[in-house]
Structure 1
Amino acid sequence: MFSLYTVIEVFLQTLATTLPVFAMVFIGLGLRKLGWIDAAFVNTASALVFKATLPTLIFLSILRADLDTAFNPQLLGFFALATTGSFALVWTWALWRVPRADRGVYVQGAFRGNCGIVGLALAASLYGDYGLSAGGILLGLVIICYNILSVLVLLTYQSEQKLRWGKILGDIARNPLILSVLISIPFAWWEVSFPEWVMTSGDYFASLTLPLALLCIGATVSVSAIRKESGPAMGASMFKMVTLPALCTLAAWAAEFEGRELGLMFLYFASPTAAASFVMVKALGGNARMAANIVAITTLLASVTVTLGVFILQSAGLI
């Protein structure tokens, strides 16, 4: 039986893990409101993170990793199955509850998490080097699964668009994050070393990633847009932030994952909807406002749901 002191101590430890991440998101929101950062800054900074600083961070993290620990085929296999199962569950629910025109947007918003930034930042905050290295390897799989499944469901309900698997697979193959994972694994396996000045410079550059990316996420959240529309957007958001993290984490625990592995998967399952989902919906001519609202709602909810989830799992001694 937990004493009140123990509960408070665990809760404070949880806040110490999650608050620094979400504080940066809310700072980004505040800076945009003040006019200190604008859309041009967000576009430039997001491109820098995606193309350069985040791949560098992943490369260095895996380079320093113990691959026997960080590379876990069982964890990767389970996450792929859980993601596919979540996708199928949400799509089945949408067939019953969501108007046809919005089903693709609803399904993508409900299952596609922002693992590349928020999930990885939380993993680093909770587990340090292990979170970055194991999370980076898992991220390669996540990108492939999310992109293929998202395009599949969106194009099912956008009949005027044609499915071009060659372009989709080409974009995935050229994704800087996937390339950084694939390139870094041989270097880590053969224990290739670089001069100290190269590693230090790389660390300086990579350290820009998480604060810059989190600021950009906050700057893209529109509270006013949320007020204009709820309904399906709120339903998809609750699926993403409550239902699926609970079901997938419970399934992972039943599959005998525990400790850091269970914690890492929970953080990825519980990440808010990726901003890339809005970009894809807009490109395919779907309900862009609904997609933007899902991103905004889940990002704001994450500060509460992720903190509570980590607190519950730590209190139960599962992570």
Structure 2
Amino acid sequence: MGDVAGALGPLFLLILLGAGLGWKRLPAGDFWPQLEKLIYFLLFPAMLVATLATADVSQVPVARVALVLLGVMTALGALLWRLRQQLGLDPAAFTSVFQGALRFNTYVGVAGASALHGSAGATVAAVAVALMVPVVNVLCVASFIAAGTLGPASLGKSLLALVRNPLILACLVGIALNLSGIGLPGWSAQTVGLLGSAALPLGLVAVGVALRPRALVRLDRGVWAANLLKLVIMPALVLVLALLLGLDPVSRDVALLFAALPTATSAYILARQLGGDAELMAALITGQTLLAMLTLPLWLRLVGG
């Protein structure tokens, strides 16, 4: 447990630092929303490009990692949809539960993978992001469409945002640079690398700032269902499937890490824009982020990470 706690502990402390800064409203004004945009549109994409453009992706069992992560994600999405009537949730609440059960915090995932397994972990994490981000965005937007919470105008904006998603574009650019053999020539490698190195610490602090402690008072069946699926059932299924497919320890640990991550803070914005239950989404983001500080080390300790 010592190695896992030593790797993840500093990440959680950065999140708690952000929570304290958010509570004190330091810095004031629109500093944090603007910083989140900088991280999302520039720094984190730079980190993905820097990793994917130069990584030896041939060392990653991409097909098996995809089968484990995407297979479980889509299966749980289908199961959740089938249980919609039994959950007794209105359409807006259901879309927030759907996001809470399937989305994942990429900042914590990539930072955790790097802390646990260095550059090898970062490479597998970048591959996981490239695989999961497009799929989870399509599934979540589809849930809003199927639930009927958005009109034609919002649908068009959602599809356009999906095509322009900076993380998806960064993954495509990084993979193209890698496969073409161009990589990051000259000073571009150091420049993009420096930009990317700022993404994770700032991203983790921003995660903490986005937490809404007041939302924790909401503890209805939607909260319990999403938390159970995201923090218990998904990592359990991923771990079983990873062991059955014989993933190497690094790929197994990173797959388990991504499966056990709390939901993404960006889900709150999507809930507000597309007619979801924003209050429920805030409760899920805050609760899962805090709970994951306990559950993530336990899952990784289970496999001796």
Shift of 1:130: 1.9
Residue in 2 aligned with 1:100?
90
Compared CA separation, residues 294 and 38, structure 1 to 2 (3 A) = farther
Deviations 1:199-227 (A, max 9, x none): 33333221110011111110111112212
Match 1:144 to one of 120, 134, 146: 134
Question: Could you tell me how far apart the structure 2 residues matched to 1:186 and 1:140 are?
Answer: 12
Residue in 2 aligned with 1:8?
none
Quick check: 2:68–2:238 contact (8 Å CA) kept in 1? no
Question: Could you tell me how far apart the structure 2 residues matched to 1:244 and 1:47 are?
Answer: 29
Compared CA separation, residues 23 and 288, structure 1 to 2 (3 A) = same
Match 2:100 to one of 96, 106, 109: 109
Residue in 2 aligned with 1:5?
none
Deviations 1:64-91 (A, max 9, x none): 2112114612322332221101111222
Question: Could you tell me how far apart the structure 1 residues matched to 2:261 and 2:37 are?
Answer: 21
Residue in 2 aligned with 1:4?
none
Compared CA separation, residues 109 and 54, structure 1 to 2 (3 A) = same
Unaligned runs of 5+ in 1: 1-10
Question: Could you tell me how far apart the structure 2 residues matched to 1:38 and 1:85 are?
Answer: 43
Question: Could you tell me how far apart the structure 2 residues matched to 1:164 and 1:289 are?
Answer: 20
Quick check: 2:64–2:247 contact (8 Å CA) kept in 1? no
Compared CA separation, residues 124 and 99, structure 1 to 2 (3 A) = same
Quick check: 2:100–2:281 contact (8 Å CA) kept in 1? yes
Question: Could you tell me how far apart the structure 1 residues matched to 2:287 and 2:174 are?
Answer: 35
- 1:264 is aligned to 2:254: yes
Match 1:230 to one of 215, 219, 240: 219
AA aligned opposite 2:303: L
Number of aligned residues? 303
Match 2:238 to one of 229, 245, 248: 248
Match 1:208 to one of 198, 217, 226: 198
AA aligned opposite 1:238: L
Residue in 2 aligned with 1:158?
148
Shift of 1:268: 0.8
Unaligned runs of 5+ in 2: none
Shift of 1:247: 2.1
- 1:220 is aligned to 2:202: no
Question: Could you tell me how far apart the structure 1 residues matched to 2:165 and 2:246 are?
Answer: 32
Shift of 1:255: 2.6
Match 1:41 to one of 18, 28, 31: 31
Shift of 1:39: 6.2
Shift of 1:110: 1.4
Compared CA separation, residues 109 and 284, structure 1 to 2 (3 A) = same
AA aligned opposite 1:43: P
Match 1:32 to one of 22, 26, 37: 22
Compared CA separation, residues 160 and 65, structure 1 to 2 (3 A) = closer
Compared CA separation, residues 99 and 254, structure 1 to 2 (3 A) = same
Quick check: 1:108–1:154 contact (8 Å CA) kept in 2? no
3-state DSSP of counterpart to 1:99: coil
Compared CA separation, residues 72 and 254, structure 1 to 2 (3 A) = same
Q: In the TM superposition, what are the counterparts of 1:129-208 in structure 2 within 5 Å?
A: 129-159=119-149, 161-162=151-152, 167-192=157-182, 194=184, 197-208=187-198
Compared CA separation, residues 292 and 38, structure 1 to 2 (3 A) = farther
Compared CA separation, residues 75 and 195, structure 1 to 2 (3 A) = closer
Shift of 1:186: 3.1
Question: Could you tell me how far apart the structure 2 residues matched to 1:211 and 1:198 are?
Answer: 22
Quick check: 2:19–2:205 contact (8 Å CA) kept in 1? yes
Question: Could you tell me how far apart the structure 2 residues matched to 1:248 and 1:98 are?
Answer: 27
Residue in 2 aligned with 1:65?
55
Quick check: 2:95–2:277 contact (8 Å CA) kept in 1? no
Deviations 1:251-287 (A, max 9, x none): 2222322411111111111110112221111112221
AA aligned opposite 1:189: L
- 1:288 is aligned to 2:301: no
Shift of 1:138: 2.1
Quick check: 2:101–2:229 contact (8 Å CA) kept in 1? yes
Question: Could you tell me how far apart the structure 2 residues matched to 1:178 and 1:308 are?
Answer: 30
Question: Could you tell me how far apart the structure 1 residues matched to 2:29 and 2:284 are?
Answer: 19
Q: Which has the higher contact order (CA 8 A, sep 6+)?
A: 2
Shift of 1:149: 0.9
AA aligned opposite 1:57: M
